[in-house]
A and B are shown apart, each in its own frame.
Chain A
């Protein structure tokens, strides 16, 4: 089972993730804000991290930048999810191993993105 961490502060969004990933081949861990996300990442090795961008406190893009600066987490595949346009976050592409998932998305799109990211890391 692949380890999946979702950092998302919107409780309803968390429900969508849970619903979509239920019964799939992943162990899903949820974090409700950036700080909690960091804590979880340090506790366990994750195969993929999904980050909401606009969160109270530490935002997803800041968390992502922190990860890429730390040699230990430099390679963790990341998916950034947001209702914002993809082009707003193109600058993060340069930091590597990241893709963008625009909200709304459905189950197929989410699974597809996760698979692509996991394969990209092989």
Chain B
């Protein structure tokens, strides 16, 4: 019998360490254990970190009652567990009907009459207990305690391993979720260029399947834009050779499998093993959108600068021309004087106009200037503008005609602003039309009035149609004007809660600028 017990102990230890998770072999172990210690209920309980709760970690499966459930946390206060921990000694309850612990009352109802709680110690700390329950009263004795003492420390170690294993598993799971769900790329790459880790998002970002990275050394580098590759490679070697010891941060372009250029930001740090750099790990983010905005902003600044600097430059050059012609005496010949005069006047006007436009749009955008609403007649207003601009149109041999619906109502609007709006749209039409005609059509819709300025001019392509109302947008940078006029128009229409848009069948096919102004109840 004694030898048999030793064999059982050996066997139990073997079972305990056959798995990294004790719960997987728990039933086998308890079956083996039942050969030497009789029980009707066997559980392992573990203390939580702050010591006030414990977890019913695992419970024998053949136990039918489930008042104290597996995986559930229970209060430490008033439990047998608390006493086991306090005294670091096995605790025996001879008769649960007279027991002091709240668990006794619960288990008594399930038919458990006596109990034995055995502390599980790991590295001088009680981590939990093993609890036997028997349907017989006063069942557990020193014999059981002595026997289990030979298994307890192994079991404790195994449980601690399980917990550790679970923590690693959880951490790894979290890490994997982060990597797999992140839109950014997280990677590890060995010194020889072999990828050890590459997040799946790389496929979306580059258009290349993730296994291409695992299968081909230095594959990432081959995607780099030709102009950036050398620089990226150089920086990475600096890190690998320990010349750039810490974090490296850079921006570069790659070419997507489908041809488009993608801007990435890359941060890499060296991976060290025993002070030796064995690879790099890095983090990569798509910054294409940000780069596009930057470019747009730079473009805006450049265009405005150009628009302000050009007339100033020409005024300066005209003055220089004037001074030279005085010296040479040319000022009174060849019409030089009037030529200089004209250049000066043109450019002062251009400058004045740009400054005024910039101030206008700033005022409109800041909302500092509220609408001054009055009853206005579109018929009267358009007729006035058409007669004012008639001459300008005539000098280019363009016909300017208005077609005004007789039932156009009086509307409430800011007269000055609507005047500016229509004038600018017609001005623009004249500017961009070389031959043909410009028609101004005003008609009544169910709940708005609509004005159309139609020309036979150069028209707009799709891209320009989309952007033409943007501030500082110019189809060609050299075009006269700061590219603010239509942005101002849009602002004016929006302040009146109307809509503005442009229609054009394409380049060279003319264009129709249209806007609506809503008719409020009293407008009707």
Contacts and interface: CB of A to CB of B under 8 A. Distances in A.
Interface string B300-330: 0010011001101110111011001100000
Interface of B: 302, 305-306, 309-310, 312-314, 316-318, 320-321, 324-325, 339, 343, 346-347, 476-479
B346 to A, nearest CB: 7
B313 A9 contact: no
How would you classify the secondary structure of chain B's contact residues: helix, strand, loop or mixed?
helix
Given A10-B478, A59-B477, 4 more contacts: A54-B306, A83-B305, A84-B302, A88-B302
User: Which of B318, B320, B477: most chain A Cβ within 10 A?
Assistant: B320
A55 interface: yes
A83 B310 contact: yes
B321 A19 contact: yes
Given A103-B317, A107-B324, A57 B476 contact: yes
A106 B478 contact: no
A19 B324 contact: yes
A104 B346 CA distance: 16
A22 B447 CA distance: 64
Contacts of B339: 15
A83 B478 CA distance: 11
A103 B310 contact: yes
Interface string A44-80: 0000000000111101000000000000000000000
B80 to A, nearest CB: 80
* In the A-B complex, the 6 residue pairs with the closest CB atoms: A104-B313, A104-B316, A83-B309, A103-B313, A56-B476, A54-B477
A12 B313 CA distance: 11
A16 B306 contact: no
Contacts of A9: 478
Interface string A21-42: 0000000000000000000000
B321 A16 contact: yes
B230 to A, nearest CB: 14
Contacts of A15: 339, 343
A102 B432 CA distance: 29
A111 interface: no
B118 to A, nearest CB: 79
B314 A55 contact: no
B478 A54 contact: yes
